[in-house]
Amino acid sequence: MSKTLLYSVAGSVATITLNRPQVMNALDADMIVQLRAACEQACDDAVVRAIVLRGNGPAFLAGGDVALFHANLPRLPEMAGKLAGELHHAIMALRRAAKPVLASVHGAVAGAGISLLAAADLALAAADAKFTLAYSRIAASPDGGSTYFLPRLIGVRRALEMALLSDTFDAHTAREIGLVNWVVSAAELAAETEKIAGRLASGPTVAYGETKALVNQSFDNTLERQLEAEAQAFARCARTADLAEGVTAFVEKRKPNFEGH
């Protein structure tokens, strides 16, 4: 990956780090291309059992690089379509990944930062995080899937409030409305992220993937179809070594040792 985005794998956890701290990790063309590549790599790598999204410096992700937009106003419609397409490939990779995705956010979480956060399966925020959807401030509509994820996470009225008014709110409000799962102090963010990611990476990966797929498709299913999908998913889990280990460990009253298959 380029220096604007860092990618590493340790202990079956892939960490994707946005790395333009001088501009609060605002997305430029190169970073978006690299983000897509990193998300697809983490999605497809069988060694990876959990994915962490984070940002270097004072912010997680402060949205798109507005200075880039301003410098390219005459060709912005064409550029916006191309860059949004790359970003959307990254979002789709995270959603189709048969492994959990954890967003670890701090500082500014704005625009596409909200979209990337919302695309993750779980989210941990530092108490200093500040959130705003921001798009309406520059007379733009949202992208990155936020108009899909936010109504499902926080409800239609709150999603429209965020999108139309672009007000800023804090980490505790984000937790109250269901945008993030946990809030910790800034000093604890890295350690808590590592702890949760470690738990996910040592869990029953196939079962996690099946669970994630079931939840994601539930909004488009009838109850009958969802029940059938659950039965089929359970049957697939029943063929795994991890389920045999989980059942055996339960009977033997010990902690299971899941290997992800």
Residue 101: CATH number of its domain: 3.90.226.10
Same domain, 91 and 187: yes
Same domain, 26 and 77: yes
pLDDT of residue 100: 98
Compute CA distances 75 → 12, 54, 135, 147, 169, whole Å.
42, 31, 19, 25, 33
Same domain, 168 and 238: no
Same domain, 98 and 168: yes
182, 201, 220 - which closes a domain: 201
- The residue among 136, 79, 145 whose CA lies nearest residue 112 is 145
Same domain, 114 and 221: no
- CATH number, domain with residue 221: 1.10.12
What percentage of the chain has pLDDT greater than the value 70? 99
Q: Who contacts 38 (Cβ-Cβ below 8 Å, separation ≥6)?
A: 1, 5, 7, 14, 16, 90
Burial class of 238 by CB neighbour count within 10 A (0 to 12, 13 to 18, 19+):
exposed
What is the average per-residue pLDDT within 175-183? 98
What is the average per-residue pLDDT within 221-243? 97
Number of domains in the chain: 2
Lowest pLDDT segment from 60-69, 160-169, 198-207: 60-69
pLDDT of residue 234: 96
What is the average per-residue pLDDT within 19-37? 94
The answer to whether residues 51 and 1 touch, using CB atoms and an 8 Å cutoff, is no
261 lies in some domain: no
Write out pLDDT tens, residues 88-125. 999 999 999 999 999 999 999 999 999 999 999 999 99
The answer on pLDDT for 202 being more than 80 is: yes
256 lies in some domain: no
pLDDT band at 2 (very low <50, low <70, confident <90, very high): low
pLDDT of residue 197: 98
Write out pLDDT tens, residues 238-252. 999 999 999 999 999
Same domain, 242 and 186: no
The answer on pLDDT for 79 being more than 80 is: no
The answer to whether residues 111 and 68 touch, using CB atoms and an 8 Å cutoff, is no
Predicted TM-score (pTM) of the model is: 0.94
260 lies in some domain: no
The answer on pLDDT for 53 being more than 90 is: yes
Range(s) of the domain holding residue 217: 205-251
The answer on pLDDT for 199 being more than 90 is: yes
Same domain, 154 and 225: no
DSSP three-state, residue 12:
coil
